[in-house]
Chains A and B, each alone.
Chain A
Amino acid sequence: MNKILLVNIEKPDQKNIAKYRERGGYTALEKALAMQPADIINEVKTSGLRGRGGAGFPTGMKWGFVPTNAGKPTYLLCNADESEPGTFKDRILMERDPHLLIEGMAIACFALNCQLSYIYLRGEYEFIAHIMQRALDEAYEAGILGPSIMGKDFALDLHLHLGQGAYICGEETSLIESLEGYRGYPRIKPPFPATHGFLASPTVVNNVETLCALPWIITNGAAAHAAIGTEKSKGTKLFSVSGHVNSPGVYEVDMGYPLLDFINNEAGGIPNGRALKAVIPGGSSVPVLTAAECDGVLLDYESLLKAGSMLGSGGMIVLDDSTKMPEVLSVIADFYAHESCGQCTPCREGTGWAAKILRNLVAGKGKRADIDLLLKIADMMEGKTICPLADADVMPIRSFVTKFRSEFEALCAS
């Protein structure tokens, strides 16, 4: 198994810049600064790196959309708003290897000619903000950030910006809107952030994990990265696994690793002698898989899609056979109702309505017709909204209700 991201994660002093450098830190940045920005972008394209926030969009291609002659500054924004239920991988990276993120961001900024960059960190991670800020201060002191980074004629300012509690701000246009100082309402696309993002300027929003993969790619080369993983899903992926497992935590595996192996080996299997009932492989926004559906599924974008789910953020939640699926769905539905920004009709009304119906069902006050009503609400929301939050509610609703329908029906009196 390859280690790209969690190489030094167990080392307690990894946060210290001197130790970071001792272990090879910032040599990738040095190498990148001697390259041409266009070549760096090509390396990232060839590496096959895909966005690790959940969308899986090819990173190099995203960078390639940024015009170099816009006459406006380019902004690189790090999406550290990790709020997808089940996901805690970015947290580990920032908590224990903050300089890895800084190095990754500096490489990206140099490649994109961005001289003012922000880490949009979810407000709840305030304790990580302290760690991140100390690392940033160390980086400035060491000349890694500032008016001429590592002695090169390139200035880079990198600031921490804290959110204040809004899952929707993990959506890139909502993040930009929130960074601009407004309510985090997602924006209509087109135009896309690549041409009109932060302050109407070219902007790239990348996830923490994506940016942390860059130093390894620069050091070891795109080909080495592309040699890991599957045909279309290159490199490694962090999976945060929780729920009914013996060893919950964050694990790095090669793309294409079998899902059931992951649950039984890395995650330590299911405790208390219980059996696997269902898995949410990539955060609450992706369809749930029954235990049977997990057979032969690999942890990569394509295999999970083929199995009827998605890789998403890699926030895996494992459910054993004691789990009451309608109750889990009700918890999830409450989440989307609470986090819907309220801007557009189908999501605002649909998420709220679905959550209420589920609460009723779970309390034993529902009717059979409510189950079909849930599916109807899902259909009414899907594909009609400004951003995919509604779709993120649709996936669990549809998959839970269709795959575990008998449990829902059992809750109904008639």
Chain B
Amino acid sequence: MIQFSEEATRRFQTILSHYPEKRAALLPVLTLAQREFGWISQEVSEYLSELMGYPPSDILSVATFYTMLHKKPVGKYHMEICRNVSCWLMGTYPCVDEIKRQLKVDVGEITADGKFSWNLTECLGSCGTAPAMQVGDRYFETLTPAKIIEIIEKLANE
């Protein structure tokens, strides 16, 4: 049975202490769980159910509402490229084509080495530096197909 590491448990306790009611901690705890376990699997739902005291259906129901919580495994670098207005105007889809050319996987798939997956996402708040994409806690902006190649290479060698 999976469980939080010592560090994650400490973080869990800190999160709980921020809220007057336990339930309010659920979303940050789900985020923590995703960081620990990679995605919100059914096993993770059951673990959190035990930990927080809510039915596993409830936990998973909350998780499926939020797009950043993954319900399937993703690559180590999950590239989310904005498909909204300004990015679209400034050239999202040529970059998407380049991503597909480089990674050779489609949305929902992971590269064989487990490093990359990608998806389209909504406005990232980078409209002035469009097109933009998010990879984990990093933004990559003013993208071009050439930059996409650079970024993928850089990440692959990290």
Residues of A within 8 A of B (CB): 73, 82-88, 90-91, 116, 122-127, 129-130, 157, 159, 161-167, 178-184, 199, 240-244, 248-250, 280, 284, 315, 317, 319, 323, 328, 331-332, 334-335, 338-339, 341
Contact flags B117-142 to A (C-beta < 8 A → 1, else 0): 00001111111111000101111000
User: Given A181-B25, A317-B86, are A166 and B67 neighbors across the interface (CB < 8 Å)?
Assistant: yes
Counting CB contacts under 8 A, is B112 at the interface?
A: no
In the complex, which residues of chain A have a beta carbon less than 8 angstroms from the beta carbon of B136? 126
Contact A87 B85 (CB under 8 A): no
In the complex, which residues of chain A have a beta carbon less than 8 angstroms from the beta carbon of B30? 164
Q: Which residue of A lies closest to B18 (CB)?
A: A159
B121 CB to nearest chain A CB (Å): 8
In the complex, which residues of chain B have a beta carbon less than 8 angstroms from the beta carbon of A124? 68, 121, 124-125, 134
Q: Which residue of A lies closest to B130 (CB)?
A: A242
In the complex, which residues of chain A have a beta carbon less than 8 angstroms from the beta carbon of B130? 242, 248
In the complex, which residues of chain A have a beta carbon less than 8 angstroms from the beta carbon of B86? 85-86, 242-243, 248, 317
A279 to B146, CA, bound (A): 30
B13 CB to nearest chain A CB (Å): 14
Given A242-B130, A248-B129, A335-B122: 17 more A-B contacts, CB < 8 Å:
A85-B86, A87-B123, A87-B127, A116-B20, A125-B125, A126-B137, A162-B31, A163-B27, A164-B66, A165-B69, A178-B27, A181-B23, A181-B25, A317-B86, A328-B85, A328-B89, A332-B84
A243 to B129, CA, bound (A): 10
User: Given A127-B137, A127-B139, A164-B66, are A331 and B31 neighbors across the interface (CB < 8 Å)?
Assistant: no
Contact B123 A130 (CB under 8 A): no
Contact A181 B67 (CB under 8 A): no
A159 to B24, CA, bound (A): 12
A46 to B86, CA, bound (A): 37
Closest 5 CB pairs of A and B: A165-B68, A181-B26, A165-B67, A242-B127, A164-B66
Contact B128 A199 (CB under 8 A): no
A319 to B134, CA, bound (A): 25
Q: List 15 A-B contacts (CB under 8 A).
A: A84-B123, A85-B123, A123-B31, A127-B137, A161-B28, A164-B66, A164-B68, A164-B69, A182-B23, A199-B24, A240-B128, A248-B127, A331-B88, A338-B67, A339-B122
A183 to B54, CA, bound (A): 14
In the complex, which residues of chain A have a beta carbon less than 8 angstroms from the beta carbon of B84? 85, 284, 331-332, 335
A187 to B124, CA, bound (A): 26
- Which among A123, A130, A242 is the interface contact of B66 at CB below 8 angstroms? A123
- Which among A86, A129, A159, A164 is the interface contact of B123 at CB below 8 angstroms? A86
A338 to B66, CA, bound (A): 11
In the complex, which residues of chain B have a beta carbon less than 8 angstroms from the beta carbon of A180? 21, 23-24
In the complex, which residues of chain B have a beta carbon less than 8 angstroms from the beta carbon of A127? 137-139
Contact A88 B127 (CB under 8 A): yes
In the complex, which residues of chain B have a beta carbon less than 8 angstroms from the beta carbon of A182? 23, 26, 62
User: Given A164-B27, A242-B128, A243-B86, are A181 and B62 neighbors across the interface (CB < 8 Å)?
Assistant: yes
From A85, A181, A182, name the one whose CB has the most chain B CB atoms within 10 angstroms. Answer: A181
Residues facing A in B75-131 (CB within 8 A) are 83-86, 88-90, 121-130
User: Given A164-B66, A164-B69, are A87 and B128 neighbors across the interface (CB < 8 Å)?
Assistant: no
